[in-house]
Amino acid sequence: MPPPQSILYTSIGIFLLCLYRDIGISYCRLLLHDTMLLEDAFRTGVSETPVCECGQDRETAEHFLLCCSKYQEARDELKDTVSQVLESAKH
Ligand SMILES: [Zn+2]
């Protein structure tokens, strides 16, 4: 039987592999315009409108990731966290 530490590292490795695989799939779907974003859903006939719920623009990947007011708080939190990580790496 492998030591418990080995099992832990294997479990973490499988978790990261799944995590990165999901990120890779999401990234490819964004590149292929095959997402559940309203712009894509409208183009394929799944949605009646391409306009985001915020009403500011069409729900494209760019709008969703960079501009949508619905996710501004999450973007700010991400920016703060990245800034903190970068600052701590300097010391
Ligand atoms: Zn929006």
The C-alpha atoms of residue 86 and residue 33 are separated, in whole angstroms, by 32
pLDDT above 80 for 12 = no
Ligand 1 center to residue 11 CA distance, Å? Answer: 37
Q: Which residue has the higher pLDDT, 1 or 89?
A: 89
The model carries a pTM of 0.69
User: Could you report the per-residue pLDDT of 15-55, keeping only the tens digit for each?
Assistant: 776 778 888 888 888 889 999 999 999 999 999 999 999 99
pLDDT at 11: 76
Ligand 1 center to residue 6 CA distance, Å? Answer: 45
Nearest to 46, CA basis, from 58, 31, 35, 56: 35
